[in-house]
């Protein structure tokens, strides 16, 4: 037995350079989680179905992911990295879109409306007509895809 090994002290190693202590952007959230897990960018880029170059762009805050990548990002992180006010119908619609990776256009197709209508609802500029309100309620009450 090595004499100094009998002490049960553990020391946390310092975080690597560039470690985001208080992530603010989606890219910083991804980078923090990746570094916490001790994974390489190429490991995560493969998992998310993106190129290594795209991963680098996100982590260096030179671009944001498109909405279709959010279901995998949310699964990797274990939480939604964006702050969305879900106290309004517009916020609930936006959260649903991101959880399911739907663009305004794709969400509009589901509901039989125009993409600009979805944007208007998300920004709480207009309220949906009652016939759409019930359909929307059915969608936004569903659990997010895992």
- Over residues 82-105, the pLDDT tens digits come to 999 999 999 999 999 999 999 999
Residue 133 structural domain: 89-140
146's tokens: 């895992």
Q: What is the pTM of this model?
A: 0.81
Counting the structural domains of the chain, the total is 2
Q: Which residue has the higher pLDDT, 50 or 134?
A: 50
Question: What would the 3-class secondary structure string for 95-143 be?
Answer: HHHHHHCCCHHHHHHHHCCCHHHHHHHHCCCCCCCHHHHHHHHHHHCCC
Instruction: State how far the Cα of 28 lies from the Cα of 121, in Å rounded to an integer.
Output: 29
pLDDT for 146: 46
Q: Which of 102, 105, 114 is nearest to 139 (CA)?
A: 102
- Examine residue 77 and state whether it is found in any structural domain, yes or no: no
**Residue 50 is part of a domain; what is its CATH number?**
1.10.260.40
- Over residues 52-70, the pLDDT tens digits come to 999 999 999 999 999 999 9
């Amino acid at each position: 037995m090595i004499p100094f090994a009998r002490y049960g002290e553990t020391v946390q190693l310092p975080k690597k350079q560039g470690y985001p202590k208080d992530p603010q952007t989606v890219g910083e959230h991804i980078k923090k989680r990746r570094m916490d897990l001790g994974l390489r960018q190429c490991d995560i880029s493969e998992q998310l179905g993106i190129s290594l170059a795209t991963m680098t762009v996100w982590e260096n805050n030179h671009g944001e992911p498109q909405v279709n990548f959010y279901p995998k990002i949310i699964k990797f992180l274990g939480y939604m990295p964006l702050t969305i006010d879900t106290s309004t119908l517009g916020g609930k619609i936006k959260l649903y879109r991101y959880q399911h990776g739907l663009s305004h256009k794709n969400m509009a197709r589901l509901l039989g409306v125009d993409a600009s209508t979805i944007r208007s609802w998300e920004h709480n500029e207009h309220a949906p007509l009652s016939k759409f309100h019930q359909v929307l309620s059915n969608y936004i009450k569903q659990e997010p895809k895992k």
